[in-house]
Amino acid sequence: MMTGIRRIMRAGFVGFWRNAYVSLASVFVITVALFVIGSTMFIDQLLTTSLSTLQQKVDINVYFVPSASQDDIDAIRTAVGALPDVATVTYTSREEALEEYRARNQNDEIAMQALAELDDNPLGANLAIQARETSQYESIARFLEEKRELAAQQTPVIDEINYARNKESIDTLTAIIGAVEQASFAVMIVLIVAAVLITFNTIRLAIYTAREEISIMRLVGASNMFIRGPFMLQGVMYGFVAGVFSLLIFYPILVWLGPLTESFFEFNLFTYFVSNFSYIFAVLIGIGVVLGLVSSLLAVARYLRV
């Protein structure tokens, strides 16, 4: 058995190098397909991390009118904090809001002069509310709007709720992620089909080239696996070499992109590539080997009747 396996492997390697130019075409197409698959993985990770980071920074800010009483503010603060959807509620008093405003505008002479001319603090207290899940902001916003309308019938308490602007940012990024994933999936399917077809034709050409050798092997009683094995091994080799090439292509690209993605998205793609190299290696090499093997099996089943 070991002798037969060694002969199959030797015949497979000989066939791979014998049709070097044709093999190169198959390797090239599978490499392109694997590059798109890997790019889709990286883009998806980048956008998902960006969305997660944005979600962590997003909150609902409730700004109270400066004349709101502390009792009314505390009542709304307690009611919001008791909601099961709320994770944290951060309270900023009027005095703290004024200090933050001064710190933000310390280089703006006009703003500081206008503030100095006022006899009283023009800013009201505010709440920063974070939900447990992004989908829960909608219900929290509705609750606050109800409180706002109820208080407006007597004495206005809530001046502004800024949920709409944050919601638009999250919805926009979510839509972008969905569109990119759909486009990447469509391109990936097209390239996978192209890779299978080209590898299929490559194996078919190899079978045609070796037709006389196959006839001789049949006459001397070679087993079906001994005849089919080298062609199946060639398909596996196409996928493996393409997987290695795709990883080699990704390395310099991610070295260059890493600092850029870290500055714009706070996520370094090269660091992700290095820390998850074993997983990425297994995925790309595995998909490449499967593509090559499936293509060779189809070609052998179609054109090698043994």
Q: Provide the residue-wise pLDDT of the chain in tens; the chain has 306 residues.
A: 566 567 666 766 666 667 677 778 778 888 888 888 888 888 888 877 877 776 666 778 888 888 888 888 888 899 999 989 888 898 998 888 888 888 888 887 877 787 777 778 888 889 988 888 777 888 888 888 888 887 766 778 888 888 766 667 667 766 776 777 787 778 778 777 777 777 777 767 666 666 666 676 666 666 666 667 777 787 888 889 889 999 999 999 999 988 888 888 778 889 999 999 999 999 889 988 888 888 777 777 765 654
Burial class (CB in 10 A: 0-12, 13-18, 19+), 107: exposed
Proportion of the chain in helix, strand, coil states, percent, rounded to 5: 80, 5, 15
DSSP 84: T
CB 275 within 8 A of CB 254: no
Place of tokens 């070796």: 210
DSSP 8-state code for residue 200: H
> In the prediction, which pLDDT does 219 show?
67
Determine phi and psi for 17, rounding to 5 degrees: -80, -25
Distance separating alpha carbons of residues 286 and 267, to the nearest angstrom: 26
Listed residue (286, 290, 187) closest to 244, CA to CA: 286
Nearest to 64 by CA among 85, 86, 93, 42: 93
Give the chain's domains with CATH numbers: 2-54+170-303 (no CATH), 66-156 (3.30.70)
Q: Which residues contact 183 (CB under 8 A, 6 or more apart)?
A: none
Structure tokens at 278: 């074993």
- Angstrom CA distances, 248 to 31, 189, 200, 237, 253, stand at 10, 23, 25, 17, 9
Which 8-state DSSP code applies to residue 157?
-
d(CA 73, CA 68): 7
What single string gives the DSSP state of each residue in 120-147?
A: S--PPPEEEEEESSGGGHHHHHHHHHHH
- Contact between 64 and 158 under an 8 Å Cβ cutoff? The reply is yes
- Distance, in Å, from the CA atom of 72 to the CA atom of 166, rounded to the nearest integer, reads 26
pLDDT at 164: 66
Nearest partner of 158 among 181, 175, 176, 141, judged by Cα = 141
The pLDDT, as a whole number, for residue 210 is 61
Amino acid at 200: F
Rounded CA gap, 69 and 89, in Å? 19
> Quick check: 45 and 298 in contact, CB under 8 A?
no
Q: What is the pTM of this model?
A: 0.66
Cα 50 to Cα 57, 129, 151, distances in angstroms: 11, 21, 38
Type of residue at 174: T
For 51, the token pair is 């969305």
Given this model, what pLDDT does residue 173 score? 63
